[in-house]
A = this chain, B = another copy of it.
Amino acid sequence: MENENLLKQISFIKEIDKIKYIQRRTKLFNSDRNENDAEHSWHLAMMAIVLAEHANEPVDVLKVLKMVLIHDIVEIDAGDTFIYDTAKDHSNTDEELIAAKRIFGMLPKEQAEEFIAIWEEFEEGKTNEAKFARSMDRFEPLLQNTSNKGGTWAELNVDYQRVYDKKKVINEGSTSIWNYSENLLNECVDKGILKK
């Protein structure tokens, strides 16, 4: 007899393959190739493991990993919203919640509830784990754009102040990473790849 949980879990595993096709606006390091959501999520997971010692408060790394690994799965239904898109709010939309319920809902009940709760905790950004996970999510494209002569900032004419306002949330997760980031943004201004 087949294991009912296992069958549900395998359906979910096949479904989430789709995030490999979701293109982000940001490019890979020193590259003109767009990053996809699976690559991005892998990179955030690696960053969370490697940089955990810099979190402002002690974090449960396993929970942070779950957050960054699943945070973009809702985009399978809801699509990627670009952070500097002024027409659409990037915050937790109804569309994303419906997506979370459909996709995580493919899992056995308890697991589905756990995944929805973790995704909501990440979106709300209030716990230590969510703050640190969100700082990783802002830090990766900052490094990428810096490596790409301004990347999406240059491409879409986003100025220093708008970048600064989006990135300063890094400080809630890690002050040392924020200090590094602020220096990097100032260097970008000095080099002329970010307009003040």
Contacts and interface: CB of A to CB of B under 8 A. Distances in A.
B13 A46 contact: yes
Contacts of A2: 180
B38 A43 contact: yes
Nearest to A37: B42
A9 interface: yes
Copies in the assembly, this chain: 2
Contacts of A13: 43, 46-47, 50-51, 143
Interface string A129-159: 0000000000000010001000000000000
Interface stretch (A58-66, A76-84, A90-98, A163-171): A58-66
Contacts of A3: 54, 176, 180
Given A6-B54, A13-B143, A20 B49 contact: no
Contacts of A28: 17, 20
Nearest to A54: B6
Contacts of A5: 53
Pick from A10, A46, A66 the residue with the most CB of B within 10 Å: A46
A100 to B, nearest CB: 15
B17 A50 contact: no
